[in-house]
Amino acid sequence: MGFPGEPPRRQPYNQPDASPPAQGEHWFDASSHNRAPEGARAAQGAWPPPSQPQQPQQPQQPPSPPQQQQPPQRQERPRQERWSPYDEGPRSRRPIYIAVGALAALIAGGIGLAMLANSDLPAATGTASPPASDSRPAPNTPDDKFGFATARKTDPLLLTLNEVFKNKKVKIGGQSYLMTTRRADKKCGDAVVGSKIQKALTAGKCNQLLRASFRDASGKIIGTVGVANLSTSTGAVKVVSAGTGKEREEYIKPLPGKDTVTKFLGTGEAFVGEWRHGHYVVMVWFQYKDGHLPKKAEVKKLNQAAFGAADATVTPALEGRSLTGKRP
């Protein structure tokens, strides 16, 4: 059943560089309120001073030369309890007391530090070790063109249907394809045909095989795209080798849809093939709706449809795994 198809040859990819965006700065101005000292207002007295009692008259003396009149003397007022910067006396020495107290505190602190240095605490040796989060080595991309997707060890998370077959309608190279059904199998052997490929999947510790079926815009070409998850790249190579041969007897099992077009999947002749992407194996089955044996020109159209549907769905998902080893 079927005829040989030529699997594609995938090219290495380049990992993009990312530069963190620049961050701005926010500034603010602290507001201040000026207020006159309370003591300044409390220190003010009444002016002019109260009148003095009259003195007995003295005999008149000859007039003396004019002299500059002295201003009347202010009477001494009781000192206010609240300190004013204009007052004199003991309170004006307060800044000196504060400075002396601060100097005594510094001296006491220095004595305390000296005693602490001479105590029996164990002395630190060597250089300080970095935090635990910084001491872990940064993950390195495996030395392989498939990056983290080289093996399940560096790409441990299972694929999901939404990760691989998320969009119902996809378009690539000017051709559009409509997805009609999808399915995930944990038993990989149930999603393929042929004893050799089933054994290769089991030996390679396949833990999932995802499939989806498509139709082209004309409704004449239909097919199934699948991806198997192996433990290592070596196991994936053996799965691909099991599907080769002049007469294809090892291939993905087509997944019929419930619509009026893809329900015919699996009836007739088809283009089948497999290729590897790291520890994954991509499989395709594409045919004409009526199942007729395609001519040489028609085989080319089936080939283009199979690669187009795969490159619009499976390929981007696997390339993302190659770059990060994680789900998007």
Q: What is the pLDDT of residues 91-115, one digit of tens each?
A: 434 444 444 455 455 555 555 555 5
Question: Residue 73 domain-assigned?
Answer: no
Residue of 120 and 176 predicted with greater confidence: 176
Question: Residue 114 domain-assigned?
Answer: no
Overall size of the chain counted in residues: 328
Residue 144 — pLDDT band, cuts 50, 70, 90?
confident
User: Are 266 and 254 spatial neighbours (Cβ–Cβ below 8 Å)?
Assistant: yes
* Nearest by Cα to 250 from 306, 191, 197, 185: 197
In the predicted model, is pLDDT for residue 46 greater than 50?
Answer: no
pLDDT tens readout for residues 173-211: 889 999 999 999 999 999 999 999 999 999 999 999 999
Question: Residue 72 domain-assigned?
Answer: no
Residue 316 has a pLDDT of 96
**Interstrand relation of 169-172 and 192-193 (parallel, antiparallel or unpaired):** unpaired
User: Are 287 and 265 spatial neighbours (Cβ–Cβ below 8 Å)?
Assistant: yes
In the predicted model, is pLDDT for residue 47 greater than 70?
Answer: no
Question: Residue 239 domain-assigned?
Answer: yes
User: Are 38 and 62 spatial neighbours (Cβ–Cβ below 8 Å)?
Assistant: no
Question: Residue 44 domain-assigned?
Answer: no
What average pLDDT does this structure show over 241-258? 86
Question: Residue 203 domain-assigned?
Answer: yes
What average pLDDT does this structure show over 168-172? 93
What average pLDDT does this structure show over 315-320? 96
Question: Residue 59 domain-assigned?
Answer: no
* Nearest by Cα to 187 from 202, 197, 174, 173: 202
- Residue numbers of the domain that contains 257: 147-324
Q: What is the pTM of this model?
A: 0.59
Residue 199 has a pLDDT of 97
User: Are 180 and 259 spatial neighbours (Cβ–Cβ below 8 Å)?
Assistant: yes
The rounded distance, in Å, linking the Cα atoms of 223 and 285 is 5
Residue 249 has a pLDDT of 86
In the predicted model, is pLDDT for residue 139 greater than 70?
Answer: no
Question: Residue 110 domain-assigned?
Answer: no
User: Are 275 and 248 spatial neighbours (Cβ–Cβ below 8 Å)?
Assistant: no
In the predicted model, is pLDDT for residue 234 greater than 70?
Answer: yes
Would you list the DSSP string of 9-35?
-PPP--PPP--PPP-------------
Provide the CA 322 distance to its chain's centre, in angstroms. Answer: 18
What average pLDDT does this structure show over 40-45? 42
* Nearest by Cα to 194 from 256, 242, 265, 247: 242
Angle at 155 between CA 164 and CA 166, to 5 degrees: 10
As for how many domains the chain has, the answer is: 1
Residue 243 — pLDDT band, cuts 50, 70, 90?
confident
